[in-house]
Amino acid sequence: MKSDSEKIEFMVSEKRVKLHVFEPSMTKIWTVVGKGEEHWIDPDSIYCSCPGFYFGKLNGKDYCYHLDSAKIAIETNQFEKIIFSDDEFENFISALISDLKGNFRIH
């Protein structure tokens, strides 16, 4: 199993941190593509939708490796910026919520 530092290095070098920008509103959504899953993150509010973040918080941990990856990617400008139309926002959010449901097995 890879250490968190190895995972972070991989995430940053592979540009798995994504900034989705919707135009013309300039709405921004950050995601990180993990092991076959995409997680919504809010680097400013220190939030990640991954189960590791949730369970880590229960154990006094403030970050998961997705947030650490995002922090480094943003600082070093090694993230992928993807431009969408505002018309695509609803479908994007629906897909993101569907992914979140799958991560936590909500039915």
Number of domains in the chain: 1
Task: Please list, in sequence order, all residues whose beta carbon lies within 8 angstroms of the beta carbon of residue 98, skipping any fewer than 6 positions away.
Answer: none
What pLDDT does 106 receive?
Answer: 43
Per residue of the chain (107 residues), give pLDDT as tens. Answer: 578 899 999 999 999 999 999 999 999 999 999 777 889 999 999 999 888 898 888 888 888 999 999 999 999 999 999 999 999 999 999 988 887 766 555 43
Element (H, E) at 51: helix 51-58
- pTM comes to 0.84
Q: Between the CA of residue 72 and those of 11, 66, 69, 84, 100, what are the distances in Å?
A: 10, 10, 5, 24, 24
The amino acid occupying position 103 is N
In which domain, by residue range, is 60 found? 4-104
Bridge partner residues of 48 (DSSP): 41
Whole-number Å distance between alpha carbons of 63 and 61: 6
